Chain A
């Protein structure tokens, strides 16, 4: 383990909603103040702030993290923006970790916010400008092309059916029914509901995809000597890793997320984990699409290639299974305010390991969990491993 030991000592989040009256600043403040309250700390005890948010275009505010900063307690403090697209939520926690592990700061408030409802006609429209301006944009591309082509390649390579994949959406939306902040929890949803939803770009259908969401999440991180004073249940950062694949999205291995494996191997090495399938007790892989949860489980080396769907089908990934996957309900169920969704996964592992996850609590006193996110131009993997 590099540097000083670092723990998460507090967490808070807003409800995830389709369209919030709150401004982005107010959402950030709600999450930040709840996180501080959760560990009975005040802002003057915070040394530095890490603020994470995905594209400026979503909130419709240029340099939006500077705009959000009042709500995140950044006034008069060293502050940095974490931004690796969808990977931001987990990456912001990694930044908080290295701020403290380096010895530079003892306490860091990490806040992630997204207010996607500001962006019209649809946040997807903002993504039309990630494509090459002369070679791809004249073709009228849409972000869904990438996912549809990837999902089809994954299904074809391993002989998976739409039904195999839809079971992920069912599991996560059902799990989210127990999350008080969830937008799309549904205890009665079925595979048929997923398969009968509108086709967006085959094989991707409406309920294979997470929704546009507003929300914010915050965590408080502290160096060991502070963490032990603040709480008797610190949750330690045991390993982190991140890695970037090529920007040429057509050239990636569409059926396997190499960037996730590279990030995971770094995190496992740091945590001293040799057999991740035995040593990781709960997983929150990034699930903006149902097939992506499977993809990521394989990249995390928690399932053999093409076999992650079996974990779902056999119930191993259920909350009461041998390796609970996305007990929070994930992006598919709780919602997907991009950066905030990634940090929600980190917060979920924090709550689960402390036994504070309420109706979502996985049995068996898990001691170690992993959260992962994916983003940038669909090419970054970010991984954090937490333990008690």
Chain B
């Protein structure tokens, strides 16, 4: 008789447990480090590839379309206003537990940018693609140079 018919419950099978214990200690990168410092100052930067006419947000050090370098003069400020491209309301946490209250996540194309940023949407009520939104920063004293220096985006 095949094994699967004899074992009615998973805990009847002998199991060896193991965890893969590793930690990542990452760097933000040359462009990423500068971009995060911008957030700390309340500014959202992009880098514009003059050849491909495409503005990356977060700012990148190179254009993925032509591999050209995006150097000093490619850095421009974008936003803080933009347009909501799409949104979702999340009701279940990654571990399967209910998320109360739910979180709202949006894709935002900042004014002056081609690339799209993912972040929290702040505020009750309905959201709709095409809505105008605006970045909300933490108070300056609370900023540490992280993506969380941005609290998210609210309706205009």
Contact = CB atoms under 8 A, between A and B. Distances in A.
A311 to B, nearest CB: 39
Tell me the interface secondary structure of chain A in the complex: helix
Contacts of A36: 67
A138 B22 CA distance: 18
Contacts of B33: 21
Contact of A75 (B22, B65, B69): B65
Interface residues on B, range: 20 to 34
Interface string A319-353: 00000000000000000000000000000000000
Main SS of the interface on chain B? loop
B16 A133 contact: yes
B67 A57 contact: no
B23 A22 contact: no
Nearest to A119: B22
Contacts of A29: 61-62, 67
Interface in B25-65: 25-33, 60-62, 64-65
B67 A33 contact: yes
B25 A125 contact: no
B30 A26 contact: yes
A10 to B, nearest CB: 13
Contacts of B96: none
A7 B18 CA distance: 47
Contact of A21 (B18, B23, B27, B65): B27
B24 A119 contact: yes
A216 to B, nearest CB: 13
B20 interface: yes
B6 interface: no
Contact of A42 (B20, B25, B28, B66): B66
Interface string A6-32: 000000000000011111011001001
Given A23-B29, A23-B32, A57 B64 contact: no
A21 B26 CA distance: 9
Contacts of A76: 65
Interface residues of A, number: 35
Contacts of B20: 57, 129
A215 to B, nearest CB: 14
Given A23-B28, A118-B26, A125-B21, A75 B64 contact: yes
A196 interface: no
A43 B24 CA distance: 32
A19 B16 CA distance: 36
Contact of B18 (A60, A120, A133): A133
Interface string B61-79: 1101111110000000000
A53 interface: no
Contacts of B27: 19-23, 117-118
B64 A121 contact: no
A270 B66 CA distance: 36
B99 to A, nearest CB: 23
A60 B23 CA distance: 8
B64 A125 contact: no
A70 interface: yes
Interface of A: 19-23, 25-26, 29, 32-33, 36, 42-44, 57, 60-61, 69-71, 73, 75-76, 117-121, 125-126, 129, 133-134, 137-138
Given A75-B64, A129-B20, 16 more contacts: A21-B29, A26-B31, A33-B69, A43-B65, A57-B20, A70-B60, A71-B62, A73-B64, A75-B65, A76-B65, A117-B25, A120-B25, A129-B18, A133-B16, A137-B18, A138-B16
